[in-house]
Amino acid sequence: VPLAERKLIARIRRQAGRAARTVLQGIGDDAAVLVPPRGHELLVTTDFCLEGVHFRRDWHSAGVVGQRCLTRGLSDIAAMGGEPIAAFLSLALPRALPQQWVDGFFAGFLRLAKRFDVTLAGGDIAHSLTGVLADVMVVGSVPRAKAILRSGAKPGDVIYVTGRLGGAAAELQSLGKADSSAQKRRLRMTPLPRVAVGRGLREKGLAHAMIDLSDGLSVDLAHICEESGVGAVVNQHLLPIASGAALNQALHGGEDYELLFTASPRAKVPVEITGVPVTEIGWITRERKVLITDLMGKPKPLKPKGWEHFNSRASLGDTHL
Ligand SMILES: [Mg+2]
């Protein structure tokens, strides 16, 4: 049985540690007090992390769930070229949940927070009548007018992605195939948000438009094209597919948390940023269609296929705003 709410908050507050310079007041008052760096604008993002939709307790350990809840928000800040400052966590827990699970969740959450110098600065805890429900808000900042938006892609731009694609989807599928009663296989993959890459791109002024790959390449590239009023051609044989992943998983699988950005064909985009490979995968077009060329070079439409996390009726899917 989870500790009483007050006891739990006191414990989380101890674990969250001292507030950083940008967080004057964290947990323990009616609202947090944040001081963004001088000359910066604020970035705010919020994401659900719901049991049965985004994770399963039999597939994901408590620590992995805690880490992934925060990864989603940090990845959004990275995709703006921003610096994360503070996180806010609203958590609804079933009464029957072991306290050990809650401790594991916070251990994973706070380990990642510490790694990215983010303060858990507030939130709420309630009882859930169904599964574990988490809503994570992350506040970040970016120098004035320097945020990298989805809307800046221009015809002729080259499209790049960081890292490798499809790995998260491939791992989830392999878990789905495993005999759950015979062996307790757990998800091991815990992608890290590309905050340093986003910062590097912003500092160098290289990217015209950027998005993080949370819902899958086909969906997230369509967002860039829609917001920018352009189209795109993806060159299939250039895609950096993760080992063990299929083409479909690289195109439509979510939760890789890599970055996709566009840059002028004249920009000197390095093949690696902060140790993360950067791969050219296609180009932006004036015609507002998203196409993919196969190995014969013949283009066909690349339809956005929303990634459904689990092939069960419990899965509601996910529309990421
Ligand atoms: Mg995003």
Query: Ligand 1 centre from 257 Cα, in Å?
Result: 9
Query: Ligand 1 centre from 4 Cα, in Å?
Result: 34
Interval 213-233: pLDDT, tens:
999 999 999 999 999 999 999
Helix (H, G, I), strand (E, B) or coil at 162: strand
In this prediction the pTM is 0.91
Query: Ligand 1 centre from 80 Cα, in Å?
Result: 9
Query: Ligand 1 centre from 72 Cα, in Å?
Result: 8
Query: Ligand 1 centre from 2 Cα, in Å?
Result: 32
Query: Ligand 1 centre from 176 Cα, in Å?
Result: 26
Query: Ligand 1 centre from 14 Cα, in Å?
Result: 30
Tally of CB atoms within 10 A around 19: 19
Interval 138-189: pLDDT, tens:
999 999 999 999 999 999 999 999 999 999 988 888 877 765 544 455 666 7
For 156-166, b where at least 16 C-beta lie within 10 A, e where not — what string?
ebbbbbbbbbb
Tally of CB atoms within 10 A around 18: 7
* Distances in whole angstroms, Cα of residue 279 to Cα of each of 61, 153, 164, 249, 273: 32, 17, 9, 17, 11
Residue 298 confidence class, pLDDT cut points 50, 70, 90: confident
Which residues have C-beta within 8 Å of that of residue 38, sequence separation ≥ 6? none
pLDDT (average), residues 222-245:
96
Query: Ligand 1 centre from 218 Cα, in Å?
Result: 13
Locate 294 and state its tokens.
């196969």
